[in-house]
């Protein structure tokens, strides 16, 4: 702390209770300003429209007016359009892929484990549901959040403190979706990238009392959730609750606060925890369809759809009011018509009189109303980017498949900005997840991974086992793999290209759309080669195996000494050359049938190189076989005696140099 007077100190550097008091004032100012600029009203209207709360009696036809003669009916295009936007963005399941700092074997092996951990938290711990919910909130309210916490008292207990008798837990990551009302930043900033964030959540007051018994009186006096005014979307019960707000203040590490700041409090005089910033970054992540320029607020196309939806409801109500009031047939009869009705057998009637009665068609609604209604619906689709094709109701003019595909692609292009925001949200969340586990997962954690052939695999890990991972990227997956027809097509193409080696791989691709089985063996082989290369560079002895992919190993191992600087290391060159020679010897001595099964070409032993191929004696008589044997003997004599004179008329052949007379080439002669 500095020696300056407190009133000159940065608010986040003051004593915890003073900082908490200032933060409560900032939160009040933050929401008051949004009430003044009608942003809170807009958000509430969006939330109500999405859930069909357009009148007092939602999701039913209601009657208004002095004599209840007016029909009020909501037809919720708003929710339908918003859900189509949501489905387009989140249908393709995101696949997070960990990236390591380096490309050595240890780092690459850690990426495999990290990918399994990410998949575990997505599938088993609800991270994927939180991501999908954040997108839904962003579409409806303009902003969605994900908050990540490391709960040190969660997870399995691994030992007991001998002095206090309290259990020590392995800890666990927890995820939540704070609402628009639960996150406060500096409203004067022009972007979301703030130095601090205040987040509100709710907790049962009795759980807090059990954890902080010395604060019982203060905690029991805190206002509960059901009594809060205009700080939540809605409460669906008249029952009282024991949930009270709890606030967390996160401040980045900056020049003013080199270690950052973290304060957990219930009220300005109820401080639960004060510490340096416990995370590398603020664990609150935001997604918005777009920004309100010059503010930290988000903007959604659904803001523009809302007034159109109100007009749509009004037009539908006009049509239905007319039909309801005049749907029963009326008959016009002039005065003095003197009509007389005689009933005949068989329910036939005879009408006698001076004038013919005429029906009154009062149910006819002006066509302008229907035209305006259709224009409003089209305007909502245009503004949101969700076309009638996407909604399954294409216009009659769109007959060809190419035209339908073009319209659909325009919707996808319009939503590409939100798609990119979704990818960024997943990448930021995944990177923070790995970083928190690296920092806090100090005891072995047992998690369920997906092993080979989608079988469950239990594995223990600690943060040190993923220490080389520095970031996470996202692959949104191939949309083709989401449909059965697409999977069949992928599997058949892979089979035609001979990339699938057995029927099990074919059925796995067809059933899951995952291509892991097509290259699982190749990836294992590459990881083995990389590990061997690292061992060779350290001067370690590496043994080859008869079942290695020898040609691939040789090509990859030679890259170790492809560097001119490394070639100056004679021991390294000798070590790599020896290992490559071991692969060559295995190609000569391993069972040729096994090598052929592995896709390798067997090599002939050295003594057989340069020898003539034996004659094909199939179908030859004894004389021909004998003649062939004599010819082979003559050729053999010629090979053994290089000074044998050449045939008549030909000059004598020169004697070959000694090194080429079936002798191997020595390194000195290279």
pLDDT at position 233 over 90 = no
How many contiguous H segments (helices) and E segments (strands) does the chain have? 18, 22
Q: What is the 3-state secondary structure (H, E, C) of 105-128?
A: HHHHHHHHHHHHHHHHHHHCCCHH
Closest CA to 46 of 200, 180, 147: 180
Q: Is 373 helix (H, G, I), strand (E, B) or coil?
A: helix
pLDDT on residue 670 = 36
pLDDT at position 116 over 90 = no
Alpha helices in 272-329 (DSSP H): 302-326
**Of 169-183, 345-359, 490-504, 616-630, minimum mean pLDDT range:** 616-630
pLDDT at position 308 over 50 = yes
What percent of the chain is predicted at pLDDT more than 90?
A: 33
pLDDT on residue 651 = 47
pLDDT on residue 443 = 84
CA distance 515 to 283: 33
> Which tens digit of pLDDT belongs to each residue from 535-561?
888 888 889 999 898 998 999 888 888
Q: Which residues pair with 447 in a beta bridge?
A: 459
Determine the distance from the C-alpha atom of residue 141 to the mean position of all C-alpha atoms in its chain, rounded to a whole number. Answer: 22
pLDDT at position 87 over 50 = yes
pLDDT on residue 147 = 96
Type and span of the H or E element at 332: strand 330-332
Both structure tokens of 469? 């991972």
pLDDT on residue 237 = 57
457: left (phi over 0), alpha (psi -120 to 50) or beta: beta
Both structure tokens of 283? 């664990």
What is the CA angle 477-478-480, rounded to 5? 145
pLDDT class for 371, splitting at 50, 70, 90?
very high
Pairing between strand 144-151 and 157-160? unpaired
Residue corresponding to tokens 């839904």: 136
Type and span of the H or E element at 249: strand 243-251
pLDDT at position 173 over 60 = yes
> Which tens digit of pLDDT belongs to each residue from 323-352?
887 777 777 777 777 767 766 666 567 777
Q: Is 32 helix (H, G, I), strand (E, B) or coil?
A: helix
Q: Which residues pair with 299 in a beta bridge?
A: 290
pLDDT on residue 395 = 66
pLDDT at position 634 over 50 = no
pLDDT on residue 607 = 60
Segment 643-668 shows an average pLDDT of: 43
What's the mean pLDDT when you consider all of the chain? 79
pLDDT on residue 168 = 79
pLDDT class for 367, splitting at 50, 70, 90?
confident
Q: Is 383 helix (H, G, I), strand (E, B) or coil?
A: helix
More confidently predicted of 356 and 36: 36
């Amino acid at each position: 702390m500095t020696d300056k007077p407190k009133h000159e100190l940065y608010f986040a550097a003051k004593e915890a209770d003073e900082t908490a008091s200032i933060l409560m004032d900032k939160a009040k100012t933050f929401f008051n300003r949004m009430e003044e600029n009608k942003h809170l009203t807009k958000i509430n209207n969006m939330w109500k429209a999405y859930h069909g709360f357009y009148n007092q009696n939602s999701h039913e036809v209601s009657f208004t007016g002095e004599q209840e003669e007016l029909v009020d009916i909501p037809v919720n295009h708003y929710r339908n359009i918003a859900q189509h936007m949501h489905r387009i963005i989140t249908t393709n399941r995101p696949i997070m892929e960990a990236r390591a700092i380096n490309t050595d074997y240890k780092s690459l092996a850690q990426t495999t484990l990290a990918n399994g951990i990410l998949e575990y938290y997505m599938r088993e711990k609800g991270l994927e549901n939180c991501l999908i919910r954040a997108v839904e909130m962003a579409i409806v309210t303009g902003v969605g959040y994900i908050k990540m916490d490391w709960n040190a008292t969660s997870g399995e207990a691994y030992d007991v403190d001998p002095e206090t008798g309290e259990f020590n837990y392995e800890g666990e990551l927890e995820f939540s979706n704070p609402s628009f009302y639960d996150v406060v930043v500096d409203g004067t900033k022009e972007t979301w990238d703030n130095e601090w964030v205040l987040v509100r959540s709710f907790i049962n007051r009795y759980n807090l009392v059990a954890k902080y018994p010395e604060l019982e009186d203060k905690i029991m006096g805190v206002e509960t959730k059901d009594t809060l005014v205009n700080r939540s979307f809605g409460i669906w019960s008249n029952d009282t609750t024991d949930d009270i707000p709890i606030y967390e203040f996160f401040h980045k590490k900056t020049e003013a606060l080199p270690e950052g700041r973290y304060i957990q409090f219930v009220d300005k005089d109820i401080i639960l925890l004060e510490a340096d910033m416990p995370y590398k970054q603020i664990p609150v992540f935001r997604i918005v369809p777009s920004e309100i320029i010059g503010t930290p607020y988000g903007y959604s196309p659904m803001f523009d759809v809302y007034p159109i939806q109100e007009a749509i409801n009004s037009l539908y109500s006009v049509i239905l009011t007319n039909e309801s009031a005049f749907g029963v047939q009326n008959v016009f009869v002039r005065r003095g018509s003197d009509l007389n009705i005689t009933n005949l057998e068989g329910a036939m009637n005879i009408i006698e009189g001076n004038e013919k009665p005429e029906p009154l068609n009062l149910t006819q609604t002006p066509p302008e109303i229907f035209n305006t209604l259709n224009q409003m619906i089209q305007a909502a689709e245009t503004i949101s980017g969700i076309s009638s094709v996407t909604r399954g109701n294409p216009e009659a003019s769109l007959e060809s498949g190419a035209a339908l595909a073009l319209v659909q692609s325009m919707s996808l292009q319009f939503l590409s900005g939100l798609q990119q925001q979704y990818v960024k949200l997943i990448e930021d969340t995944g990177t923070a997840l790995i970083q928190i586990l690296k920092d806090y997962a100090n005891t072995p954690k047992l998690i369920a991974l997906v092993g080979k052939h989608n079988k469950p695999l239990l594995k223990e890990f600690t943060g040190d086992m993923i220490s080389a991972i520095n970031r996470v990227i996202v692959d949104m997956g191939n949309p083709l793999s989401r449909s059965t027809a697409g999977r069949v097509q992928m599997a058949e193409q892979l089979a035609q290209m001979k990339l699938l080696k057995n029927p099990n791989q074919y059925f796995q691709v067809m059933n899951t759309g995952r291509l892991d089985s097509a290259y699982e063996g190749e990836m294992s082989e590459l990881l083995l080669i990389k590990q061997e290369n690292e061992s060779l560079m350290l001067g370690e002895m590496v043994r080859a195996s008869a079942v290695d992919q020898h040609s691939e190993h040789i090509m990859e191992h030679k890259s170790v000494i492809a560097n001119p600087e490394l070639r100056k290391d004679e021991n390294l060159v000798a070590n790599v050359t020896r290992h490559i020679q071991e692969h060559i010897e295995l190609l000569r001595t391993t069972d040729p049938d096994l090598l052929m099964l592995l896709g390798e070409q067997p090599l002939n032993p050295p003594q057989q190189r340069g020898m003539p191929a034996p004659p094909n004696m199939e179908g030859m008589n004894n004389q021909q076989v004998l003649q062939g044997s004599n010819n082979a003997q003559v050729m053999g004599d010629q090979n053994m005696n290089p000074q044998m004179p050449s045939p008549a008329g030909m000059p004598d052949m020169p004697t070959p140099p000694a090194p080429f007379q079936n002798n191997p080439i020595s390194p000195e002669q290279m």
